[in-house]
Amino acid sequence: MSNMKNLNTLKLALLLVVGGVALVLSCRRTEVDQPRKLARDFDSEVYLRWNELFLEIDRYAVGYRPGPIPHALGYLGFAAYEAVVPAIPELNSLARLYPELKMPKFDETLEYHWPAVVNEVYGFLMKRFFFHMENSYPNEFAKIERLRRALYAKYEAETTPEVLERSVQRGLEVARAFYEYERTDAAAHNAFLNPSPPYNAPKGPGFWEPTVPDFTKGLFPYWGQVRTFALREEEQLCRPHIPYSEHPLSLFFNQGMEVYLTVKNIFDNGPGAYEQRWLGEFWSDDIFGLTFSPPSRPLAIANQIVAAEKPNLAEAAELYAKMGMALNDASVVLWNSKYVYSLERPVSYIRRVISRHYPDAAEWLTILNNPVDNFKGVTPAFPAYPSGHSGFGSAGAVILSSMFEYNKRNPGTYVFTDRCHMGRTEFNGTPRTLGSFRDFAFENAYSRVPLGVHFRMDCDEGIRVGEVAALRVLELPWRK
């Protein structure tokens, strides 16, 4: 009787074990067999929230203007793209193009919550790119973790704990891989800690020197050594500028005269002065602590387009990756060229050369004022040629055009209104409506002439090289 009882107990135990195994296998099979959600099944809120926060952080990021800002955008966008590209069947991973980038393994059989993946990528990298703000601007720095937690809490209600934890780990692993890769770029990594290193600038007529009224030292003279994502080495130097000359009949002198007379007309309240001042101030974004920086202007426009068009997560991943990578590459060719040619700014040329023919030019100043430090008539602290504004705007415009123009809804144009400075009182932030992204590129570039900080040739070449940088990024093998 006892043996029979033991036998029945053994049978029951075996049944429980077999049943448990079957249940586990059934659960696993259910998770595997379920149609797994792709990136396109989610909206782009996570991208919009993080990139809007980036603009807030940018405003107070000491040492980040201008090179480190597009560099950070490049790594943030590319890292988030690589983290979610397994869920975008029509797109390729580009990680193989960068041998030093060691990507973590990925299990395609498992379910992921893709916004949660992106959330962790941005949270991890933003803290590391802007770690110096934890002490200098703690309230701004705290926004990074606050946003990460807010989105995490939202995603807790949208998926299971297991899927959420797996997604978090995916995002963190990819973010760590990209941060380790970024650290191998010695010219870029933490360069914001010393934005004006010792630099042996060429001396003599026509060469750049610190300008009135603040005489700030040159920013990022070695940024041209930073690694690019797509731009080839032979493309990282602009074409030569118009030959320097002080002769009043020379092309160079005429470039200086255009700036001198345009700004003088604004100060004299001459024909079109209001429009010219509005143009210069609206696109400026030069003043730290007042607005985001110039390289972020295309990002600010992209955010407004994303808010209006509401692309899905896959489309947003592609947009922000291409945008950041193009801006990074544009920054390299722009700053490499600035310090190779080391061309003086209009204010120096006008006060020294044009004043010989027009005495009032001896005290000429730009219309760019700094209400934070109370300086009037300032000029950015690096050589003139080519224009960084023009290059960043052109690169961003090409990426935006590739995503939102030349389709059934917008066959060749995209009318939009830039409202990013609406309501400001320090300058005229009245929204401006543009007929296409190309219009944005040209208006943003030309605005530097009435502002008084660039010759026209600076803007023309900036537009060209920014476009080339963006085109090279678009030529990468994104699509299968």
Q: Is residue 457 part of a domain?
A: yes
Q: In this model, does residue 235 exceed pLDDT 60?
A: yes
Q: Is residue 18 part of a domain?
A: no
Do residues 87 and 167 lie in contact, with contact meaning Cβ atoms separated by under 8 Å?
no
Between 16-20, 39-43, 298-302, 371-375, the lowest mean confidence (pLDDT) is in: 16-20
pLDDT digits (tens, 9 = 90+) for 216-226: 999 999 999 99
Q: Is residue 21 part of a domain?
A: no
Q: In this model, does residue 12 exceed pLDDT 70?
A: no
- pTM of the predicted protein model: 0.93
The three-state (H, E, C) secondary structure of 375-427, written as one string? ECCCCCCCCCCCCHHHHHHHHHHHHHHHHHCCCCCCCCCCCEEECCCCCCCCC
pLDDT at 17: 41
Give the separation between CA 161 and CA 360, rounded to whole angstroms.
71
pLDDT at 20: 47
Q: In this model, does residue 45 exceed pLDDT 70?
A: yes
Q: Is residue 5 part of a domain?
A: no
How deeply is 293 buried, as exposed, middle or buried, from its count of CB atoms within 10 A (0-12, 13-18, 19+)? buried
For the beta carbon of residue 464, count every other beta carbon within 10 angstroms: 16
Q: Is residue 380 part of a domain?
A: yes
Tokens of 434: 């543009």
> Total domain count for the chain?
1
pLDDT digits (tens, 9 = 90+) for 417-429: 999 999 999 999 9
Q: In this model, does residue 33 exceed pLDDT 90?
A: no
Domain that holds residue 45: 39-474
3-class DSSP state for residue 244?
Answer: coil
What CATH number does residue 83 fall under?
1.10.606.20
Q: In this model, does residue 155 exceed pLDDT 80?
A: yes
User: Over pLDDT 90: what percentage of the chain?
Assistant: 91
Q: Is residue 264 part of a domain?
A: yes
Give the separation between CA 91 and CA 318, rounded to whole angstroms.
9
Q: Is residue 463 part of a domain?
A: yes
When computed from its CA atoms, the radius of gyration of the chain, rounded to whole angstroms, is 27
Q: Is residue 23 part of a domain?
A: no
